[in-house]
């Protein structure tokens, strides 16, 4: 097999995984209600594809090929497991009733949620699943992220995240939690978890911009999902808030990296921003405000809106941003929100005040802070502004060591 042919096979596999991973796993899991077994079966099929496709060629319908092989693996496992329990016949009959890939769209997404991946996000937001693991479960099962990427997003060790996901899937299997799309009346109670997953997917893709092109595509897919949520649930203020937030961020994509160089927000050329996306984002902010139900995503969208006012020649209102972040950390006291608050307070009031906020954060969460790159990058900037060059250099070195993106690392190295 030559290198060019091997590359074609790998590209075909990457494409089908990006396009169909979620719905294949979901359909395989519907029979046995065992996400781990479904994922294992699909992983076996992918390994078999790597062995066979270079020899036999990429199938005309690669998704159907993976479906067939995965289903065969699950069927073999069902025979082994259920024969020991004396119930093979009934379970094998259930596999025989399993839909083909051509029917998956109707079964998984239904006529109500027309997008398969969004439907699966609502499935994984089942109230019987621990809220703390719903978003990671969605990112892995629906969007195909590995435990390492998810762990990085949630500031935990990969092994810890892996254990959480295994426990969640075991509970789904043992408790018989239905792997089914909820009816419309149940959407609102699951919406918060779905929005969190879409936001996490966008953030993962955004962080990977310039590192992994496939992961970077997640940011665009997240926007598509956010638009669909707004379409399906137009009266939900936070859905509008999330879409606005993502559009504001996306509007700066071309300005964030110029000729391979990372450009921080304050230094970006406004002319490189996507004004159409900004206008749409402002419209979504207005739509959210009409619902008179303020939440986390609306607050974060308002933060981005204040930066976007530069488009109209206005200066950034740092005092206004500090007030917004004070509200955000009350609603969602995440590590990222606290670090952003410290950066803004350091700019609006004094670097020392921002440094004090970071010091309090480190005292309260030493383990998480130690491996959180934005904390050390922000501390370096504030220390530099306060005139403490030695401490700033130490913090910057720590930030550089935690940075995977070569362009961001180069920017930090230049100081």
Give how far Cα 257 sits from Cα of 18, 247, 311, 377, Å: 25, 17, 18, 18
> What pLDDT, on a 0 to 100 scale, did the predictor assign at position 71?
86
> What pLDDT, on a 0 to 100 scale, did the predictor assign at position 415?
67
3-state helix, strand, coil in the chain (%, to 5): 75, 0, 20
> What pLDDT, on a 0 to 100 scale, did the predictor assign at position 215?
54
The CATH-assigned architecture of domain 337-415 is: Alpha Horseshoe (1.25)
> What pLDDT, on a 0 to 100 scale, did the predictor assign at position 170?
83
**Structure-model confidence comparison of residues 210 and 325, the more confident one:** 325
User: According to CATH, where is 1.25.40 located in the chain?
Assistant: 337-415
- Rounded to whole angstroms, how far apart are CA atoms 107 and 99? 8
| Percentage with pLDDT > 90 across the chain | 49
pLDDT in tens, 357-392: 999 999 999 999 999 999 999 999 999 999 999 999
Q: DSSP code of 267?
A: G
Checking if the pLDDT of 216 tops 80, the result is: no
Partner residues linked to 4 by β-bridges: none
DSSP three-state, residue 262: strand
pLDDT in tens, 237-289: 999 999 999 999 999 999 999 998 999 999 999 999 999 999 999 999 999 99
- Rounded to whole angstroms, how far apart are CA atoms 138 and 178? 15
**Structure-model confidence comparison of residues 83 and 43, the more confident one:** 43
**Structure-model confidence comparison of residues 4 and 207, the more confident one:** 207
> What pLDDT, on a 0 to 100 scale, did the predictor assign at position 339?
98
**Structure-model confidence comparison of residues 339 and 30, the more confident one:** 339
Burial of residue 402, with CB atoms counted within 10 A of its CB: 0-12 exposed, 13-18 middle, 19 or more buried? middle
* Average pLDDT value over all residues in the chain: 85
Binned at pLDDT 50, 70 and 90, residue 54 comes out as: confident
**Structure-model confidence comparison of residues 242 and 294, the more confident one:** 242
289: number of Cβ within 10 Å: 15
pLDDT in tens, 296-344: 999 999 999 999 999 999 999 999 999 999 999 999 999 999 999 999 9
pLDDT in tens, 119-176: 888 988 999 888 889 999 888 887 777 788 888 878 788 888 888 888 888 887 777 7
Binned at pLDDT 50, 70 and 90, residue 107 comes out as: very low
Binned at pLDDT 50, 70 and 90, residue 94 comes out as: very low
Q: DSSP code of 334?
A: -
> What pLDDT, on a 0 to 100 scale, did the predictor assign at position 82?
54
Hey, CA dihedral for 84, 87, 93, 99, is it positive or negative? negative
Burial of residue 56, with CB atoms counted within 10 A of its CB: 0-12 exposed, 13-18 middle, 19 or more buried? exposed
């Amino acid at each position: 097999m030559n290198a060019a042919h091997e590359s074609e096979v790998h590209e075909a596999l990457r494409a089908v995984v990006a396009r169909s991973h979620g719905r294949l796993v979901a359909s395989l899991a519907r029979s046995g209600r065992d996400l781990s077994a479904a994922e294992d079966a699909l992983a076996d099929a992918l390994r078999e594809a790597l062995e066979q496709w270079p020899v036999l060629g990429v199938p005309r319908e690669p998704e159907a090929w993976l479906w067939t092989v995965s289903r065969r693996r699950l069927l073999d496992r069902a025979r082994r497991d259920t024969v020991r329990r004396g119930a093979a016949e009934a379970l094998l009959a259930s596999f025989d009733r399993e839909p083909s890939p051509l029917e998956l769209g109707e079964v998984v997404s239904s006529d109500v949620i027309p997008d398969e991946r969004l439907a699966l996000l609502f499935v994984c937001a089942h109230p019987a699943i621990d809220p703390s693991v719903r978003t990671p479960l969605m990112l892995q099962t629906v969007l195909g992220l590995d435990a390492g990427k998810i762990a990085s997003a949630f500031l935990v060790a990969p092994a810890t995240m892996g254990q959480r996901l295994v426990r969640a899937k075991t509970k789904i299997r043992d408790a018989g939690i239905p792997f089914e799309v909820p009816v419309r009346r149940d959407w609102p109670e699951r919406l918060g978890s779905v929005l969190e997953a879409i936001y996490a997917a966008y953030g993962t893709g955004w962080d990977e911009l310039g590192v992994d092109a496939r992961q970077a595509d997640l940011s665009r897919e997240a926007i598509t999902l956010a638009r669909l949520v707004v379409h399906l649930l137009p009266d939900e203020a936070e859905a509008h808030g999330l879409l606005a937030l993502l559009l504001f961020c996306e509007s700066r994509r071309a300005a964030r990296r110029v000729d391979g160089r990372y450009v921080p927000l304050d230094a970006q050329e406004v002319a490189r921003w996507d004004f159409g996306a900004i206008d749409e984002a402002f419209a979504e902010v207005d739509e959210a405000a009409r619902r008179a139900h303020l939440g986390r995503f609306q607050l974060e969208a308002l933060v981005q809106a204040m930066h976007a006012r530069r488009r109209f020649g206005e200066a950034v209102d740092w005092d206004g941003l500090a007030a917004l972040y004070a509200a955000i950390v009350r609603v969602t006291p995440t590590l990222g929100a606290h670090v952003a608050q410290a950066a803004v307070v350091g700019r609006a009031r004094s670097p020392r005040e921002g440094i004090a906020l970071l010091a309090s954060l480190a005292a309260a969460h030493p383990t998480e802070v130690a491996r959180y790159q934005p904390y050390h990058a922000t501390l370096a900037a504030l220390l530099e502004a306060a005139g403490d060059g030695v401490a700033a250099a130490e913090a910057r070195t720590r930030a550089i060591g935690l940075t995977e993106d070569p362009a961001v690392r180069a920017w930090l190295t230049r100081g």
